[in-house]
Structure 1
Amino acid sequence: MSIASSAKEAFVISSVAAGIMLSGPSLVKAGVSADQNDNKHVSIETSQIIRYGHMGQIVENVQTKLTNLTLYNGSIDAVYGKRTEEAVKQFQRLHHLKVDGIVGKETLTKLTTLNSSPKELVFGDHSEEVEPFQQQLKKLNYYEGQIDGIFGPLTLKAVKKYQKKNNLHVTGKINTPTQIHLLSNRNKKGKTLKSVKVKAIQTTEVKSSVTSIAKSLIGTNYVWGGTSPSGFDCSGFIKYVYEKADILLPRTVNEIWNYSKDVQKVGVGDIVFFETYKPGPSHAGIYLGNGQFIHTSSSNGVTISELSNSYWNARYLGAKRIPNS
């Protein structure tokens, strides 16, 4: 593909790509007449590419699209310069395309199908979209949890630390600026980044605090979906107790199971899990020691039960530990 070498030469964009390509001839610069353009032009088909140095309406359309996606904040001047190229690279990183700064067929197709910025990921989200950011945070020594797609407390802590370290607005959300910065960071070994080690809280103090808070709630009614002293379900109770001890947990039993770590021997403050009304972990409580655990039952509310009880013993799946507790 060649670029017009004089004011008498112009690009003609001919394509059917929705929202980006033109349906007819277009001039590169204002002041070039239609008659002059008819004399000599270069056609760019959809199978061809748009790259650094190109000019014309198609470049202006790409710049407009990138501006709408909050990825480009330069002048919409129909000139494919360095700022446009960098915005295209950011777009490619965000959508896991080949990062070359060139608007080829794959990048163009993705551009034409998007109407908004990438989804903002927040605490509590559970999806595959979270995983690439967990992987990158782990690679850069900010995240020490599992790559499970759960935006839990460890992911939240890692995001906030990353934002603070890299002078981003500390929101705890994986928003567009954070996504772009993370996916642009090629410091694979973290040579200029500090390895983040979470300072351990005194385990004994945490366990004592958790069990004391839990016991203070004995007798609270069971409420499906409840998360406060006016009524708890089993996971709402555990989440509430740990938050009072300054430890954030995911909301559901299954998420807490995935978030917590396996232990060889159950200890005070560990979470004990049971399979009750559906396959997999569906009920949980906090281990108190001496074979007892505190939990919210549908019949008795917050209460203390024995692991040796025939009902619970038959449904016991095992114990897991909350990280840094």
Structure 2
Amino acid sequence: MKKSFVTKALGTIALAAVVFVSNPLSADAALGDRQLKQGMTHKEVKDLQVALKKTGHFTYNQGYTTYYGTYTKSAVSKFQKQYRLKATGVADKNTIKLIKQKAAAVKVVAKKAPAKKATVKTFNVNAAKKLQGVRYTYGGTSPQTGFDCSGYVSYVMKQQGVSLPRRSQDMYNTGKKVSSLLPGDLVFYNTSGKGVSHVAIYIGNGQIIHSASKNVKVDSMSSSYWKQRYVGAKRVL
């Protein structure tokens, strides 16, 4: 009696093992280990959908599922037609192998951030003009002591948040060379016969403001004196 009970129990365990092995959907497996078709539910179906999404064939916009429904079947059929396979809608091993190959070959192109447009700070022309009349002083760097040309430019541009070298010759070696002038651009002149020796600030409408001769004043760039001595312009803002 006891022996009969043990034999029956062992038989039941063996039968359960056979059922488990014969049902591969209950075991962990990778995409491509088995054929998938409509009506099945398994995690490999989701993997299949992800691969088909990469190839552009799975267009269901509600996310991925583990159920092989009409959307998945349609996606598989479209893939099979495109690559000249029999369009059964069944993901057999050959179909899955090709799907995986095509999905792996898809390159993910990172979107480039739009290039930032270069911005030019607005120059405070009024602040520069408020210093008109301050006397010219060789080596001067403030309204109290007076200004020379580079002292005036350095003082005004510092108020704009720009630090510049002390001498006009060194200022000419900073910034970006420009031909179309904007207010705040530095303009340079040769007044000594040897390279850059004077600097002014362009304020628009063909005018410059600078410390020259007796005091800070506004002049026209087109005047005969300044026109023939013009060297170039730099943008530092």
Instruction: Select the structure with the greater relative contact order (CA < 8 A; seq sep ≥ 6).
Output: 2
User: If the length of structure 1 is used for normalisation, what is the TM-score?
Assistant: 0.36
